[in-house]
Chains A and B, each alone.
Chain A
Amino acid sequence: AQSVTQPDIHITVSEGASLELRCNYSYGATPYLFWYVQSPGQGLQLLLKYFSGDTLVQGIKGFEAEFKRSQSSFNLRKPSVHWSDAAEYFCAVEDSGYALNFGKGTSLLVTP
């Protein structure tokens, strides 16, 4: 079965610093991978997705992610974090029925 692991429960970065959130997946075929962001008490907003093709995917809000099949990873990056980026980030893989299997999430705290 497909699964997603986000190893970091919490991450703290200073505003202006770079960010990398880790995501590892377990899936037999080529995965459809997603990163979503959730602000407190809110729904999920899609940051970016990977289906095929170029392994470096650009998303909204200055985020990008790189698909590495050899490492079964799909890490999310941003070169310079803003205070408004503080939120919960979820990596997800789509299953055969189009539902999403989510990782446990990484909570990002941005300090001044």
Chain B
Amino acid sequence: GAVVSQHPSRVICKSGTSVKIECRSLDFQATTMFWYRQFPKQSLMLMATSNEGSKATYEQGVEKDKFLINHASLTLSTLTVTSAHPEDSSFYICSARGAGILTDTQYFGPGTRLTVL
């Protein structure tokens, strides 16, 4: 149980285009989802926290107009990188925190590798 999926696993796009990444909790309802960014050989940095049905809370320094987060249901959150540029190339990882017995742990997706040319 407690599986989180991400789609796509890899994406390559041209500079200036937008990319949408989906994060799904497959077998539980995620009351809160988190989006992290990881540069090569570095740690994960929290970008934003999203709760179902409400606006995401962004960390300082993260542009909310560039990284659009939608948490439309208890099993789906999306991250859209708008007008992507090469510096946005990174590994994006989502995590989900459930309700009930799953409320005390974050379950991570496998990540999405974004390369902007």
Q: Spell out A's residues near B (CB within 8 Å).
A: 32, 34, 36, 41-46, 49, 51, 90, 97-105
Decide yes or no whether B77 CB sits under 8 A from chain A. no
26 contacts between A and B (CB under 8 A): A34-B105, A41-B111, A42-B111, A43-B4, A43-B93, A43-B108, A43-B109, A43-B110, A43-B111, A44-B44, A44-B93, A44-B108, A46-B107, A46-B108, A90-B43, A97-B49, A97-B57, A98-B34, A98-B49, A98-B97, A99-B49, A100-B44, A100-B95, A102-B43, A104-B43, A105-B43
Select the residue from B42, B43, B49, B111 with max chain A CB neighbours within 10 A. Answer: B43
Write the chain A residue with the least CB distance to B6: A43
Interface of B is mostly: strand
B interface size (C-beta, 8 A): 24
Chain A positions within 8 Å of B111 at CB level? 41-43
Select the residue from A42, A43, A97 with max chain B CB neighbours within 10 A. Answer: A43
